[in-house]
Chain A
Amino acid sequence: MKRLLTMHFSVLLFSLLLAILTSLTFGSALIPLADVFAALTGGDVTDIRRTIVLDIRLPRILLAILVGGGIAASGAAIQGLFRNPLADPALIGVSSGAALCAALYLVLGTALLPGLTASAFVGGLLTTWLVLEIGRRGGTISAMLLAGIAINALAIAGIGLLSYVSTDVQLRSVTFWALGSLGGADWYSVAVASIIPVAILLLFAERHKLNAITLGDQEAAYLGISVPGLRIRIVVLTALAVSIGVALTGVIAFIGLVVPHLVRMTMGSTHQVVIPASAILGGLLLLIADTLSRSVFAPAEVPVGILTALLGGPFFILLIIRQKGKLGI
């Protein structure tokens, strides 16, 4: 059992390494692996290739891994907390709140708000807080879930309203932002995103409590866990990880929903495994999707959010049909 897990983790990490190397090589300009290594190690390579590898592709790759990992690990934790395998970080309102504030910034202008990324970040945290507060007054985990649905609907209405009053140019940037893209990656965004692994580690620290809460709130309390406190910690940590991701890249669909399932199907359900494995697999999948999105129609780019939804949707349907009882739905 333990050996099998070690093997799974080794495969994941090896695949990640392979994907990084592939992603450094492919894109609108093909750079041979020898030149990639030369650029990474400070060897002999043309300046333009060095710039592409070190300042364009490498930060983008790291950003994809961090954001994808953050979304997937958050998905795993949120599914555990809500005891619902269909839960998704978007459920706590973080994505739609971020999108709403991003739209506010793009349409109503620069004077009011601090910047696109900061607006989205604040929006994500603010809506999460609202959902948490309404859920607290409702008392149950279902109340929080329903609050999330209501807040999501409100945010989407808000985005709709803003789209209605926006100019064509503004509308285009709102839409494009909502589709998600890693095109804006640079070392600055990687630095901001380096908070994500901290959030993942803190989620990992709650692994036993997340296991317990899948039994039920009452049962978790009998195992000595203060459920309201745990709920707040999990929601705040996932909101942090996801809202940073959304703020930097826009909305990326399906990673948070599908990846934890893939992990549970192959590696088991304990959060000791699900959280770290989801983080790695989420990073890997977003990296692959992003590499495809900038290579397939190069030099044009397909927004990566479209790609993850295009691939994730049918895959998830297949999963539902094939797994039947095993998903626990």
Chain B
Amino acid sequence: MSLALRNVSFEIDGTYLLNQVSVDIRPACITALIGPNGAGKTTLLRTASGELVADGVMLDDQPISDIALEVRAQRIAFLTQSSALDFPFTGLEVMHMGRIPHLTGAIHDRRVVEEVVDKCDLGSLSQRIYTTLSGGEKQRIQIGRILCQVWDDLESAYVLFDEPTAALDLAHQLTFFNIIQMLRDSGAAVVVVLHDINLASKFADQICVLASGEVLATGSPSEVINASNIGKAFGVSIDTLGSSERPIIQVRTIL
């Protein structure tokens, strides 16, 4: 089982947002996408999820565009960068929306949501009105909603997060990474777009470096995080510190 991109290209008006990209999104693995602004990270997620139609995206060896929208929604959950939600739902009601693709009945749905609330420590937010929450609190509820969507069958789930930690404080960033590690340990495939290369290095099993719509490097943190790759992708020079297995970088200058 896997979600695979094989030589996937995506263009708008002659500009290639993705150019011959190949990535394997594997179960029980956290894949981090890193790269500068406009590198194509979000486009890659949107193509992998089947929202943007491109040839070469295969879910379990079947072209993803052949799979019905409802069926996809039971397998793939996607947390976008920001949601337009502007109605005074309670946190709990927002999380219940994650159950929409499933026809599992109210009792089961309630149990799933309760488990996720418990796991993600969302009890204090669940009865509050979503529109009155802070950016970070909203994000935590949205992460909860995404988990509710795939909770039943984590082993066959693909969970995609687009910059999930941008609005989170340090403790909640750590909580988030604990959650995705738990998802991975339960067998889920997790893809996460990160701006913080050190977080990617610390928590990812596989890192994919994107620049100008192309994959510069894919591999374990120790294989990918080095001065040459980071320099090419981001245009900065770095020092690498820490363990060689999960290197830590420090930015020196702009190249």
Contacts and interface: CB of A to CB of B under 8 A. Distances in A.
Q: Bound pair: A and B?
A: yes
B87 A212 contact: no
Contacts of B101: 223-224
A85 B86 contact: yes
Contact of B85 (A215, A218, A327): A215
A224 B83 contact: no
A222 B252 CA distance: 40
Contacts of A216: 80, 83-85
Interface string A215-231: 11011011111100000
Q: Which size bracket describes the interface of B in this complex?
A: 20 to 34
Given A268-B93, A269-B93, A221 B69 contact: yes
Contacts of A226: 69
A211 interface: yes
Nearest to B101: A224
Contacts of A222: 49, 51, 73, 76-78, 80
A210 to B, nearest CB: 10
Nearest to B82: A216
Interface string B86-97: 111110011011
Interface string B128-158: 0101100000000000000001000000000
Given A212-B100, A215-B83, A222-B51, A264 B88 contact: yes
Nearest to B78: A222
A269 B88 contact: yes
Contacts of B132: 325-326
A110 interface: no
Given A214-B89, A328-B131, A224 B74 contact: yes
Nearest to A264: B88
A326 B51 CA distance: 32
Interface of B: 49, 51, 69-74, 76-78, 80, 83-90, 93-94, 96-98, 100-101, 129, 131-132, 149
27 contacts: A83-B84, A85-B86, A85-B87, A209-B100, A214-B84, A214-B85, A215-B83, A215-B85, A216-B83, A216-B84, A219-B83, A222-B49, A222-B80, A223-B97, A223-B98, A224-B69, A224-B70, A224-B100, A224-B101, A268-B88, A268-B89, A269-B88, A326-B88, A326-B129, A327-B88, A328-B87, A329-B86
